[in-house]
Structure 1
Amino acid sequence: MTQESARSGGVWAIVVAAGRGTRFGTGLPKQYTPVAGQPLIGHTLSALCSHPGVRGAMVVLAADDAHWPGWDAMAGTPLLRCTGGESRADSVLAGLQALPDEVRVDDFVLVHDAARPNLRHDDLTALLERGRADPVGAILAAPVRDTLKRAGDDGGIDRTEPRERLWRALTPQLFRRLQLTRALESAREGGVAVTDEAMAMELLGMRPLLVEGDEENFKITTAGDLARFEFVLSRGPRDGATS
Structure 2
Amino acid sequence: MNTAVIVAGGKGTRMNMGINKLYLDIKGKAILARTLDVFFASHSIDEVILVIGQGDEENFKEKVLNDINICKPFKLVTGGKERQDSVYNGISNMSKDSDIVVIHDGARPFITKNLVEESINQAKIYGAVTLGVPAKDTIKIVGEDRFIINTPDRSSLWLTQTPQTFATHIIVQAYEFCRSNGIMATDDAMLVEKTGYRVKMIEGSYDNIKITTPDDMILAELLLESGRIKDV
TM over 0.5, shorter chain: yes
Task: State percent identity of aligned pairs.
Answer: 30
Choose from 112, 117, 122 the match for 1:120.
112
Contact kept? 1:84, 1:94, Cα under 8 Å: yes
The answer on 1:83 being equivalent to 2:78 is yes
- What number of residue pairs does the alignment pair up? 228
Unaligned stretches of 5+ in structure 2? none
Matches within 5 A, 1:1-243: 11-65=2-56, 66-69=58-61, 71=65, 74=69, 76-101=71-96, 103-104=97-98, 107-134=99-126, 136-236=127-227, 238=229, 242-243=231-232
Partners of 1:235 and 1:54 lie apart in 2 by: 28
Say which SS state the counterpart of residue 151 (structure 2) adopts: strand
Give the Å deviation of 1:114: 0.4
One-letter identity of the residue aligned with 1:49: F
Give the Å deviation of 1:210: 0.9
One-letter identity of the residue aligned with 2:188: E
Contact kept? 1:12, 1:55, Cα under 8 Å: yes
Query: What do residues 134-171 of structure 1 show as CA deviations (whole Å, max 9, x unaligned)?
Result: 2x221111122211122343434344221222211110
One-letter identity of the residue aligned with 2:94: L
Say which SS state the counterpart of residue 47 (structure 2) adopts: strand
Give the Å deviation of 1:230: 0.9
One-letter identity of the residue aligned with 1:88: R
Partners of 1:154 and 1:196 lie apart in 2 by: 27
One-letter identity of the residue aligned with 2:173: R
One-letter identity of the residue aligned with 1:89: Q
- Are the structure 2 counterparts of residues 132 and 86 from structure 1 closer, same or farther at C-alpha, using a change threshold of 3 Å? same
Higher helix share: 2
Partners of 1:116 and 1:166 lie apart in 2 by: 21
Contact kept? 1:141, 1:169, Cα under 8 Å: yes
Partners of 2:144 and 2:185 lie apart in 1 by: 25
Contact kept? 2:184, 2:191, Cα under 8 Å: no
Contact kept? 1:187, 1:194, Cα under 8 Å: no
Contact kept? 2:131, 2:204, Cα under 8 Å: yes
One-letter identity of the residue aligned with 1:141: G
One-letter identity of the residue aligned with 1:74: N
Give the Å deviation of 1:237: 5.9
Say which SS state the counterpart of residue 131 (structure 1) adopts: helix
> What is the root-mean-square deviation of aligned Cα atoms in Å?
2.0
Contact kept? 1:11, 1:110, Cα under 8 Å: yes
Partners of 1:54 and 1:215 lie apart in 2 by: 23
- Are the structure 2 counterparts of residues 237 and 43 from structure 1 closer, same or farther at C-alpha, using a change threshold of 3 Å? farther
Say which SS state the counterpart of residue 88 (structure 2) adopts: helix
Partners of 1:137 and 1:178 lie apart in 2 by: 10
- Are the structure 2 counterparts of residues 145 and 237 from structure 1 closer, same or farther at C-alpha, using a change threshold of 3 Å? closer
The TM-score normalised by the length of structure 2 is 0.90
**In terms of mean alpha carbon deviation, does 172-181 or 73-82 score higher?**
73-82
